[in-house]
Amino acid sequence: MTGGDVPAPNSVTGPTVADLDRTRVVRVAPAHVAVIMDGNGRWAAARGLPRVAGHRAGAEAVRRCIRAAITRGVGCLTLYAFSSENWRRTPDEVADLTALLRYYLRHKVSELCREGVRIRVIGDLSRFDPDVRDEARRAEDLTAANTKLTLVLALSYGGRADIVQAAMRVAQAARSGAIEPGELDEALFSRFLLTADIPDPDLIIRTSGECRLSNFLLWQSAYAELIFIETLWPDFDERHFDAALETFARRERRFGARPAV
């Protein structure tokens, strides 16, 4: 994790591509879009291919999504690349996923750096092999000065674990006298999360038709707009991204307040 003892502050029905009015311009892009990339295995199974083929095709969809975020003016893009629950998959699939992750961290980061992408990694990296951890930190260091897009990779990440580690750090800070228990509020607590230097997501997209968060950014998503689409992740492209932004632009975000009259 980056940061010091007290870090710096900080229709569930989705659109189809056919719904997108290509003549309309989304006036204000969401500052932070997060994506639950789901459906790689089903995509491969439908084609009689091994699951790893779905993950490889999904990696190409990641590149399209990053490109779309940059061209649409999104400031931060978070991708749920490897959940804490993914470790429960078969050893062969975990090996395939980590090998693919290792390859992209080792060979594709320079390309992202040239495009102005800053990479941040959140999650429990201790479960990965040392070389994967080293590549992740190298990617962060190499791209630290970039400003066009912050790409947050959630690796071995779980929302509940994030809240628990934040609570533990709050307790340690209180015990050491760094904070007073009575001053703890939501804003202060957020500074202990792994996303302390990242704005909360405005929009969360999940592919493959599943309608749940699956332990992703649970604290941070309190007021995010949620869009669930049927498209499997390997088929996701700029058109789907645009359709989601169109739907987001039509939402009225009230953050608990009464609607405007």
So which residues are the catalytic ones? 38, 86
**Strands of the sheet with 117-122, listed across from one edge:** 117-122, 149-157, 76-83, 32-36, 203-206, 225-228
221 annotated as ligand-binding: no
156 annotated as ligand-binding: no
- Asked if 132 and 99 touch (Cβ cutoff 8 Å), the reply is no
72 annotated as ligand-binding: no
42 annotated as ligand-binding: yes
Q: Facing residues of 32 across strands?
A: 76
Q: How far apart are CA 50 and CA 54, in angstroms?
A: 7
Place of tokens 């693919």: 100
Q: How far apart are CA 243 and CA 65, in angstroms?
A: 13
138 annotated as ligand-binding: no
67 annotated as ligand-binding: no
The closest alpha carbon to 136, from 164, 54, 144, 57, belongs to: 144
22 annotated as ligand-binding: no
Q: How far apart are CA 248 and CA 128, in angstroms?
A: 35
233 annotated as ligand-binding: no
Q: CB count, 10 Å around CB of 197?
A: 16
41 annotated as ligand-binding: yes
Q: How far apart are CA 58 and CA 40, in angstroms?
A: 6
215 annotated as ligand-binding: no
The closest alpha carbon to 30, from 61, 72, 67, 71, belongs to: 72
206 annotated as ligand-binding: yes
- Asked if 102 and 174 touch (Cβ cutoff 8 Å), the reply is no
115 annotated as ligand-binding: no
209 annotated as ligand-binding: no
Annotated binding site: 38-43, 51, 55, 83-85, 87, 89, 206, 212-214, 225
Annotated binding site for substrate: 39-43, 51, 55, 83-85, 87, 89, 206, 212-214
Annotated binding site for Mg(2+): 38, 225
